[in-house]
Structure 1
Amino acid sequence: MTYKEERASGITAALGRTIMVQGTASDVGKSLITAALCRIFTKDGWRTAPFKSQNMSLNSYVTWDGKEIGRAQGMQADACGILATTDMNPILLKPSGEMKSQVVVHGKPLRDYNAKEYREKYLPVAGSIVQASLRRLREAYDIVVLEGAGSPAEINLKDRDIVNMRMAAWADAPVILVADIDRGGVFASIVGTLELLEPEERDRICGFIINKFRGDVSLLQAGLDWLEDRTGKPVLGVLPFMPGLELEDEDSLSLSKQQAAALHSDGAKLQRELDIAVIQLPRISNFTDIDPLRFETDVQLRYIEHAGQWGSPDAVILPGSKNTIEDLLWLRETGLAELIHKHVSSGGAAVGICGGYEMLGSKLYDPLHIESSVEETDGLSFFPFEVRFTEQKKTVRVEGAGQFNGDASPAKIEGYEIHMGEVNWQQADQSMYRPFLIREHRSLLEDESPSPYEAEGASSPDGKLWGTFIHGILHNDDFRRNWLNSLRESKGLESLPAELRFQERREAAFDRLAEHARRYLNTALIYDLLGLPEEGAR
């Protein structure tokens, strides 16, 4: 009986096959290679799911049932064409201060730990949590693609490891080791990693992928031959550098790369019609909210960190923050708060999303030190509301409609909320300030009675200044174009049609990534490692 027949028969409790992607270091391409394998296996007909036992990121993703996981696993689930669940990332660490992180377990905050406390008090019990999640995925899917974190050769962390080699052993997963040739020293990084592993860990590595190669691969062949002779393990592929992939990143360090890429593609001086500046807050979170603007042909998108970069923006965006009060104080220290006030008072457009929205109010209170040691501070005072941070985090997907001035027709919107701040309006008549009507998306998927629509967000009467808790608001194509056209009209420019369909573009990017990986990887050998036929599932 084949594996497929065994799974379909229901006679046995066959578990899905596993394979793991680990790296010689952080940022070598593990997340994208995992997404590529997820898409390949899915297109070949195998029910596939991603898994990362523990992730650290401020760029999170909300599942359909209102739980928070790492964005990479949400993106990988999208590559599989499935709804993401917390089993795909049961533990998420969200840095909240020096050596301190909020620990999110199965999508809900547990508490803040400093690094030593987490290692000594929580990691010993975390193993059972991640193993149970993996088992549930293996019971539901044919293939689970695991992703490691950092490097498996971190000697100081190995005794409490739940994300690299110990996780691979729990999963009984063959491990593909990925190395980034673009940063140099690729052969040393691979061999050095192997040398630092225990013999049983070294035996679990089944091959290597060399990522981000630029140039003639024939010039690399002598090194590849040496590597295979030296280690006795195959090179599963050399992946050429893939520019302009357009899939979201998990680390805000990628913002500088995006800026450089934009300058390189458009020339040192961009000549687009709309200049939009995003404040790159020190504790910026969910920065992928801004991604669709990168692909609008009339938008010059800039990230600014100090007053000298201000220029003459048509619109300013205050994005999300993991520590709103501290980032608000930083705005004042840098002089950016004063520039934002001058910009708005002179008729300029501005947007606040989540933490950026909270900054637009009159006062922020954090008496329980949820985000900051500062218990209260003045907001930017554009809207008559106060924000109080509470212990209860709101994580929910929403859908509805929105408009940012009385003239524009409401556009359908969807997105998600992740915040611990509660907005309390200081005057009874709020109607002129509320641009969105939304309801929870979960009830629609569970076939319950839909929840009622509620007002959300804030907007000035002319729509030039607005804010919202809705992450992903700019991923709504018609709403985004309505807003951009309002900026164009204020400059005397003609409106443009909503031609960019961001989700279609993203799906095409997944397919492009999979085709690229299939072309350059030895997928037949990877299927052999899984014990599955390459063509048998289609």
Structure 2
Amino acid sequence: MAKAIMIQGTMSNAGKSLLAAGLCRIFKQDGYRVAPFKSQNMALNSFITREGLEMGRAQVMQAEAAGIEPSVLMNPILLKPTNDTGSQVIVNGEVLSTMSARDYFKYKKQLVPDIMKAYHALEEQADIIVIEGAGSPAEINLKNDDIVNMGMAKMAKAPVLLVGDIDRGGVFAQLAGTMMLLEEEEKKIVKGLIINKFRGDKTILDPGIEMLENICDRPVVGVAPYMDIDVEDEDSLSERMSSHKEVAQIDIAVIRLPRISNFTDFNIFESIPGVSVRYVSRAAQLGHPDLILLPGTKNTMHDLTWMRQSGVEASVLKAHAAGCPVFGICGGYQMLGEFLDDPNCVEEGGSMRGMGLLPMRTVFTEEKTRTRVNGTFGTVTGILAGLSNVDFTGYEIHMGQSISAVGTEPLTVIHDTNVAQSEIKTEGAMGENVYGSYVHGIFDSMDVVNAVVRALAERKGIDPKGLAQVDYAAYKETQYDKMADILRQHLDMDAIYRILENGLQ
């Protein structure tokens, strides 16, 4: 039986995902087989496994930190919000249905067998399982049917480390208040407290820590600093999307759609010296970028309507007319076409005009495409011609199919073992400095990103040699190691190992 330890937070975005990833890395470095687990994840950033199953990217990041292949066992339930009151419910990597929040809360207890089947399967593969909670365990209106915080801790018999975010203020009230709202049985499960995202002189904090330990009758097992590391974020609360960055030599603008998904597609550009990635949510913010990226979205029609009403679409079209290339991924690719049709009300229903930058029509269907792909760019024209014949890997997750007009040049060729060798499966489309593809992760290859950055640099008369020299896979490994080093310095790992060993004793 694997040992388990669980990270719960006083609120969303308290840093649970990164702390769980950091512990995964530390345990791996210490010679243990370790796996992450989150019974229920609500996020629009998702990933397709080798088996074609869908899971949250936070657990993919944690699996990378643990040095293992991502598996849907690590995230048996994924909720992808479709609007403010409903979500697509994905169980064991496949779509179950779309439910309102009220209907899902009534139903979710029926998913406990799926959760525990996945958890027990992981137990056979790991020495240690690092479980991540969601939101706060003190949501007293939801506790009776909890399957992701204290409910999960009880099912897994996992001791809990409770994390508070000092960066947003009130960390002592967060931790003490959360403990106060827990039932006596739940309080016993909490074995330690962590203060996260601290900046400054810890000695100033020490008197408060002593009082907190007395109030909660629990040890503070660490004060983790605000970590300047570059790993994938949990969801759109990500600070990378709201931070105001200086424009670098190469300026890439990502349109921050209201229901943006898989913005991790663009993280690789941020690792390159001399390249800046800005997330733009207002027309006035767009400026004069060297490349505009339209990301994926859980609701293409809704977000295109937002672009139209906010003036962002007009700004993108104006920038393109002035010579700026535009690249759309998944939902962003669908927007680039001439028409969007939704006869089955998969999204908004009805039809609407697209941006008109590619001669194609998208029809939304109820069947979801989920597949890993290997491909090669075709003969690419325009500013990004350097992508021609470059290989890539990635995955598709989308509802709907896009049909290009006769004569439209496809962007890629997909190498699919299910297609006869005599056939060529093409994907995506391109026009006059407009490029679109359904493939998430298409930029994760350094050959691809090097070709893009080189083309943008040469267009500006910049020497590209110093811009794209990062091995992204190796870069991510250094970030995980850096995170582990920082946490070893600031967490009492001896105490955490004792908590892990003793369990709920």
Please give the TM-score of this superposition, normalised by the length of structure 2: 0.94
Q: How does 1:29-178 map to 2 (within 5 A)?
A: 29-120=15-106, 122-178=107-163
Shift of 1:451: 12
1:309 maps to a residue whose letter is Q
2:425 counterpart (441, 444, 454): 454
1:361 maps to a residue whose letter is G
**Partner residue, 2:457:** 488
User: How many Å separate the matches in 2 of 1:317 and 1:296?
Assistant: 17
**Partner residue, 1:510:** 480
**Partner residue, 1:6:** none
Q: Which 10-residue stretch deviates more, 400-409 or 102-111? A: 400-409
1:375 counterpart (332, 350, 353): 350
**Partner residue, 1:236:** 221
5+ unaligned residues in a row in structure 1: which ranges?
1-14, 264-269, 533-538
2:10 maps to a residue whose letter is T
1:160 maps to a residue whose letter is D
Shift of 1:487: 2.0
Judged with a 3 Å threshold, the aligned counterparts in structure 2 of structure 1 residues 456 and 524 are, in CA distance, closer, same or farther, namely same
Report if the CA contact (8 A) 2:358-2:434 is conserved. Answer: no
**Partner residue, 1:321:** 297
**Partner residue, 1:278:** 254
Judged with a 3 Å threshold, the aligned counterparts in structure 2 of structure 1 residues 508 and 53 are, in CA distance, closer, same or farther, namely same
Shift of 1:257: 5.6
**Partner residue, 2:171:** 186
1:405 maps to a residue whose letter is V
User: How many Å separate the matches in 2 of 1:325 and 1:74?
Assistant: 28
Instruction: Tell me how large the CA RMSD over aligned residues is.
Output: 2.2
1:247 maps to a residue whose letter is V
Report if the CA contact (8 A) 2:241-2:279 is conserved. Answer: no
Judged with a 3 Å threshold, the aligned counterparts in structure 2 of structure 1 residues 470 and 234 are, in CA distance, closer, same or farther, namely same
- Give CA deviations for 1:432-481 in whole Å, capped at 9, x if unaligned: x12212235xx79xxx9999862111122x6x211111111222212112
1:396 maps to a residue whose letter is T
2:368 counterpart (379, 393, 400): 393
**Partner residue, 1:307:** 283
User: How many Å separate the matches in 2 of 1:317 and 1:62?
Assistant: 22
Report if the CA contact (8 A) 1:175-1:207 is conserved. Answer: yes
Report if the CA contact (8 A) 1:119-1:160 is conserved. Answer: yes
2:183 counterpart (195, 198, 221): 198
Judged with a 3 Å threshold, the aligned counterparts in structure 2 of structure 1 residues 220 and 342 are, in CA distance, closer, same or farther, namely closer
Please give the TM-score of this superposition, normalised by the length of structure 1: 0.88
1:304 maps to a residue whose letter is V
2:458 maps to a residue whose letter is E
5+ unaligned residues in a row in structure 2: which ranges?
none
Report if the CA contact (8 A) 2:404-2:429 is conserved. Answer: no
2:125 maps to a residue whose letter is A
**Partner residue, 1:531:** 501
User: How many Å separate the matches in 1 of 2:11 and 2:421?
Assistant: 46
Q: How does 1:333-412 map to 2 (within 5 A)?
A: 333-372=309-348, 374-402=349-377, 405=380, 408=386, 409-412=388-391
Shift of 1:344: 2.5
SS in 1 for 2:347: coil
User: How many Å separate the matches in 2 of 1:84 and 1:256?
Assistant: 24
Paired residues, number: 498
Report if the CA contact (8 A) 1:52-1:163 is conserved. Answer: yes
1:246 counterpart (230, 236, 243): 230
Report if the CA contact (8 A) 2:378-2:413 is conserved. Answer: no
Q: Which 10-residue stretch deviates more, 145-154 or 214-223? A: 214-223
User: How many Å separate the matches in 1 of 2:422 and 2:487?
Assistant: 43
2:191 maps to a residue whose letter is C
User: How many Å separate the matches in 2 of 1:404 and 1:527?
Assistant: 55
Shift of 1:379: 1.3
**Partner residue, 2:392:** 413
Shift of 1:184: 1.6
2:168 maps to a residue whose letter is R
Judged with a 3 Å threshold, the aligned counterparts in structure 2 of structure 1 residues 403 and 488 are, in CA distance, closer, same or farther, namely farther
SS in 2 for 1:496: helix
SS in 2 for 1:119: helix
**Same amino acid, percent of matched pairs:** 44
1:423 counterpart (402, 423, 433): 402
